[in-house]
């Protein structure tokens, strides 16, 4: 948004990132058509099946929620790691989260990546199965962000700080296991997700029914909200998202990533808010980088050398 690549008429809308809202708990799900192939975090069993379907004149559709957004980069990473080019071998389509299950039910897509509760709802309705949670692709990956217009924050610093502190206190509440049932009841209401709390509660507690016979209780791949610095917006994570968008040709390779991160990431405000609410020292990271990140396929992202990461990836749009 700050660069103007996803805004109307490509007009930049300067934004600030004030906090990370959560880690993990998105899912990549596949139609029952491919259920017997045993595709998991490793999607390679789908490569031949997708190719056969395409050769038969049928479009293979993989859905996500917004081009360049988190669900787009997760499903692209998952496909590419299996040797499936998300731009050539399949069609990546945009579908709103609440419409994912209904679209797969009528055969409009073969796979999708979305947050919960839609993956679990898909399993409950026996329409498809979860190949993997996104935490299996990248454990403890950053997910949603609290973003605000930069001009509003600059004009209303006290209000912005109050909102940030309130969100951080809400994250602390959401982290506690004893609050999960109440959380599921709140967000299941009609004005929010409008789904039965039963479709929400299991996965936010780390109880995963994949829908293909695999079940896990108490997984550490549940959605994390606070403990250990989850809320802190690491600049190294912003760099990974920019690098992935460069990988797929959505951002120029000569982009000054350090400069744009410096403008948008307001970890300084987060640190002030953490002090104001008396956050525990263990929940306040010491540096702006979480260091090297390792993915399920063995690829390593070193924030100090993003070009080496790009060079290690076989499927990409950039040379």
Structural domain that includes position 91: 26-137
CA 179 to chain centre: 23
Per residue, the 3-state secondary structure of 47-98, as one string, reads HHHHHHHHHCCCCCEEEECCCCCHHHHHHHHHHHHCCCCCCCCCEEEECCHH
101 in any annotated domain = yes
Query: What phi and psi, each to the nearest 5 degrees, are found at residue 200?
Result: -105, -40
127 in any annotated domain = yes
212 in any annotated domain = no
43 in any annotated domain = yes
**Which of the four pLDDT bands, split at 50, 70 and 90, describes residue 318?**
confident
If one counts every other C-beta atom within 10 angstroms of the C-beta of residue 208, the result is 25
53 in any annotated domain = yes
Tell me how many domains the chain contains. 1
Q: Taking all residues of the chain, what is their mean pLDDT, rounded to a whole number?
A: 97
86 in any annotated domain = yes
35 in any annotated domain = yes
CATH code (residue 125): 3.40.190.10
Give dist(CA 304, CA 265) in Å, integer: 17
**Which of the four pLDDT bands, split at 50, 70 and 90, describes residue 97?**
very high
Q: What is the pTM of this model?
A: 0.96
Give dist(CA 295, CA 105) in Å, integer: 31
The predicted structure's pLDDT at residue 192: 93
How do beta strands 26-31 and 91-94 pair? unpaired
Looking at residues 16-37, what average pLDDT do you find?
A: 96
128 in any annotated domain = yes
Give dist(CA 208, CA 226) in Å, integer: 21
């Amino acid at each position: 948004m700050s660069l103007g690549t996803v805004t109307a008429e490509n007009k930049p809308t300067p934004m600030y990132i004030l906090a990370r809202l959560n880690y993990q708990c998105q899912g990549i799900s596949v139609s029952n058509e491919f259920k017997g192939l045993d595709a998991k975090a490793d999607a390679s069993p789908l490569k031949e099946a997708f190719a056969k379907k395409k050769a038969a004149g049928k479009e293979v559709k993989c859905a996500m929620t917004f081009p360049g957004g988190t669900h787009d980069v997760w499903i692209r990473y998952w496909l590419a790691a299996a040797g499936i080019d998300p731009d050539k071998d399949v069609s990546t389509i945009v579908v709103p989260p609440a419409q994912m299950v209904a679209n797969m039910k009528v055969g409009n897509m073969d796979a999708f990546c979305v947050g919960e509760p839609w993956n679990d709802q898909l399993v409950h309705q026996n329409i498809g199965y979860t190949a993997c949670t996104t935490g299996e692709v990248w454990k403890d990956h950053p997910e949603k962000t609290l973003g605000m217009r930069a001009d509003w924050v600059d004009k209303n610093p006290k209000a912005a700080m109050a909102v940030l502190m309130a969100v951080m206190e809400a994250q602390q509440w959401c982290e506690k296991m004893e609050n999960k049932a109440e959380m599921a009841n709140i967000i299941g209401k009609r004005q929010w997700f409008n789904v039965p709390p039963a479709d929400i509660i299991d996965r936010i507690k780390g109880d995963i029914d994949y829908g293909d016979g695999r079940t896990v209780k108490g997984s550490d791949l549940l959605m994390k909200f606070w403990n250990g610095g989850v809320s802190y917006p690491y600049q190294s994570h912003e760099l990974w998202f920019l690098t992935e968008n460069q990988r797929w040709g959505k951002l120029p390779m000569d982009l000054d990533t350090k400069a744009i991160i410096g403008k948008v990431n307001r970890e300084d405000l987060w640190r002030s808010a953490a002090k104001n609410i008396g956050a525990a020292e263990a929940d306040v990271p010491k540096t702006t980088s979480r260091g090297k990140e390792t993915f399920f396929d063995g690829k390593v992202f070193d924030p100090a050398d993003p070009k080496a990461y790009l060079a290690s990836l076989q499927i990409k749009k950039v040379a």
